[in-house]
Chain A
């Protein structure tokens, strides 16, 4: 169970943000190509930074609190992070836009 510690955090972020989609009737998930075009380039840049920093010893991940699977030395959870966090940010951004629009139009 301790191996899921990192994954639990990602699940928590998704549990906190995915319901926004239904609650505010967002259309974010209906545009998978646009999502891909928004998230992938950003993820590539940040993963590159992450790989350089991790491989030069600036940070490391506890093997006891991550699953065993590694890609270029990073746990898979770390790659998922760069999809989950941008997605959560975009959902928050769109939810705020809806709330602001409702306030404006009353």
Chain B
């Protein structure tokens, strides 16, 4: 199976393409989205640091860029979490917000 290190950037690409071409919500071209993401990523580092720093979630060293070692920063980790998690979180929240904007537009213009 594709490693997390390979899958995470693909998820970002898919989310951006869905936002721009499929849903045509173009959030990544708006200042509002990047403000939201700036807030979200701060809280992600905090909450994900809890999940990974305490070892609630543990990663196989074969799947991630860094080794399996849990460190605060370095060795492919930021705030205890594999850097791949940042890509994962970006894709998840972008997709949710884009779907929210898209469904809102669909419901305002019923066909």
Taking beta carbons and an 8 Å cutoff, which residues of A are in contact with B?
5-6, 9, 12-13, 16, 31, 34-35, 37-39, 41-42, 45-46, 49, 52-53, 56-62, 65-66, 82, 85-90, 92-93, 96-97, 100
Contact = CB atoms under 8 A, between A and B. Distances in A.
Q: How large is the interface on B (under 10, 10 to 19, 20 to 34, 35 or more residues)?
A: 35 or more
B28 interface: no
B25 to A, nearest CB: 11
Nearest to B95: A42
Interface of B: 1, 3-4, 7, 11, 31-33, 35-36, 39-40, 43, 47, 50-51, 54-60, 62-64, 89, 92-93, 95-97, 99-100, 102-104, 107
The 8 closest A-B CB pairs, nearest first, are: A86-B96, A58-B63, A89-B93, A38-B99, A56-B1, A38-B100, A65-B56, A42-B95
Contact of A34 (B7, B36, B92, B104): B104
Given A52-B1, A53-B4, A96-B32, A58 B96 contact: no
